[in-house]
């Protein structure tokens, strides 16, 4: 017999400045059994909440962690080389004045730590935008 691989899930990047707990409570009330929080919902402590705390937040609601939505920091990383400010709403104030090279380095370090957290959580899905890594026409279909 086949295993069911679908379940109601919700992606978190479209839910603004909710905390992880607020987002999971919203997802549960909406009928989801799984959720994909944004990277921002996982921030805390040195940079990210401890994996144990994230696991417990999901377990206490009997929900699955379906992935980590990381569109914004990947956009920043793959677009920084252009000098664009389109990623600035997604970075902290102290990174706003960095040169394109330093901003790319900052974003790479952030993403590597996020991917380490994802690995620790056994998350295999990390959606992203490629930004303008291949140029503006490729990014926007021009």
The most confident of 15-19, 21-25, 42-46, by mean pLDDT: 21-25
Residue 42's domain is classified under what CATH number?
A: 3.20.20.150
**Closest alpha carbon to 65 in 36, 43, 108, 92:** 36
Q: What are the two backbone dihedrals, phi and then psi, of residue 129, each rounded to the nearest 5 degrees? A: -105, 140
| Under 8 Å between Cβ of 13 and 67 | no
142 belongs to a structural domain: no
48 belongs to a structural domain: yes
When pLDDT is cut at 50, 70 and 90, the band that residue 140 belongs to is: low
2 belongs to a structural domain: no
54 belongs to a structural domain: yes
Percent of the chain clearing pLDDT 90 (strictly above): 58
| CB-count exposure of residue 32 (10 Å: 0-12, 13-18, 19+) | buried
52 belongs to a structural domain: yes
3 belongs to a structural domain: no
pLDDT in the model for residue 134: 65
**Closest alpha carbon to 14 in 72, 76, 59, 80:** 72
For residue 5, CA distances in Å to 9, 22, 26, 66 come to 12, 26, 22, 11
Residues of the domain holding 90? 11-133
pLDDT digits (tens, 9 = 90+) for 82-96: 998 888 888 988 899
125 belongs to a structural domain: yes
pLDDT in the model for residue 138: 63
* pLDDT(51) > 90: yes
pTM: 0.86
The domain tally of the chain equals: 1
Distance between CA atoms of 142 and 138, rounded to whole angstroms?
7
pLDDT in the model for residue 121: 97
* pLDDT(129) > 80: no
120 belongs to a structural domain: yes
């Amino acid at each position: 017999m086949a295993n069911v691989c679908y379940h109601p899930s919700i992606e978190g990047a479209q839910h603004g400045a909710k905390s992880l707990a607020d987002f999971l409570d919203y997802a549960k009330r909406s009928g989801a059994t799984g959720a994909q929080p944004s990277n921002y919902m996982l921030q805390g402590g040195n940079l990210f909440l401890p994996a144990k705390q994230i696991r417990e937040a999901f377990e206490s609601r009997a929900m699955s962690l379906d992935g980590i939505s990381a569109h914004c920091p990947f956009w920043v990383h793959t677009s920084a080389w252009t000098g664009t400010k389109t990623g600035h709403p997604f970075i902290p104030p102290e990174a706003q004045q960095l040169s394109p090279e330093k901003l790319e380095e900052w974003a790479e370090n952030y993403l590597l730590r996020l991917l380490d957290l994802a690995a620790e959580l056994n998350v295999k899905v990390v959606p992203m935008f490629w930004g303008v890594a291949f140029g503006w026409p490729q990014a926007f279909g021009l």
